[in-house]
Amino acid sequence: MLGKVLIAGAGAIGSVIGGLLRKQGEKITLLGRPEHIQAIARNGLEIDGIWGEHRVSGFELVSDPAELGTDFDLIFLTVKSYDTDSAIREVVPKLKSSGLVVSAQNGLGNLETVAGVAGAERTLGGRVIFGAEILSPGKVKVTVYADPVMIGGFTPELSVVLKPKIEKIVAALNGSGVPSGYAEEIRPYLWAKILYNCPLNPLGALLDVNYGALADNPETRKIMEEVIREIFLVARAEKVTLFWKEPDQYAREFFERLVPATRNHRASMIADLKRNKPTEIEAMNGWILKLGEKHGIPVPYNETLTRMIRAKAKIQLK
């Protein structure tokens, strides 16, 4: 067993992880929005979709971080990237000195933010590449699955030191039905997710279409190919070792395997814009733009998508 586990940010992904772990008997506290938490308190958490139908109860339920208990052994941080700094500062005081935080979030930069507060020795990166959505308060649906959740330490050296603890988390996730694995080096996996998200999320949000429609259209397909090419240039400048040697090699896997597996999925950024909520563009294409500027590498496709999402968000807020 994992001990006391906190899901800090019990939205769609956090609810699925926490719910399936709870079904396996883990002690889970969900920290989330009041309407979602109140619905779970009344009727339990309903999980539907490609991983089956589940109704789970027996959680500790909290909507205000001030009401949290202490001595958590493990925290899954599943908040949006723009809330990472404030959220980790709220929950780290609740963590045991020997406890760990898994940043299971979109985008780049989260791992460094968490480590800056919790300490690198207590920070794990989690690459999550399954999709879920909240259908209504208390009800979530797993919509797509591309690859296992991968978990590793802040550095390869820390991954080795923490391997027994990481493998225990991985085993619990696998036992709950969430395919997972140990990663000695987590950053290539986080960049692999960036390579997946950056071509799809902003374009899907701007055009309000699913991922399959983007791949089917030769115009958007060309844009996505250029986004991928720019990310490879930036990754090389950052000395990140990717799993693919050339952008064309990744693009083939992207269009032939990853997008077909998730073709009906719609970017969460669509809902964010429609609800006048912040988007995670700054941790995705915006982060590539930031790194491009750092290294003097032009990234016009990533820059354009970043600026268009920023503009759309401002227009819809008026």
- Tokens encoding 318: 């008026």
CA dihedral (263, 266, 269, 272) in degrees, to 10, reads -170
Positive/negative CA dihedral, 209, 215, 217, 219: positive
CA dihedral (99, 105, 111, 113) in degrees, to 10, reads -90
How many Å apart are CA 291 and CA 279, to the nearest integer?
19
Residue 277 a catalytic site member: no
Helix axes 285-295, 218-237, angle to 10 degrees: 50
Residue showing tokens 């032939």? 256
**Planar angle of CA 7, 10, 16, nearest 5 degrees:** 85
**C-beta pairs of 92-96 under 8 Å, 24+ apart in sequence:** 92/117, 92/118, 94/6, 94/68, 94/69, 94/70, 95/122, 96/71, 96/72
Residue of 139, 141, 165, 193 with catalytic role: 193
How many Å apart are CA 19 and CA 79, to the nearest integer?
16
Residues assigned a catalytic role: 193
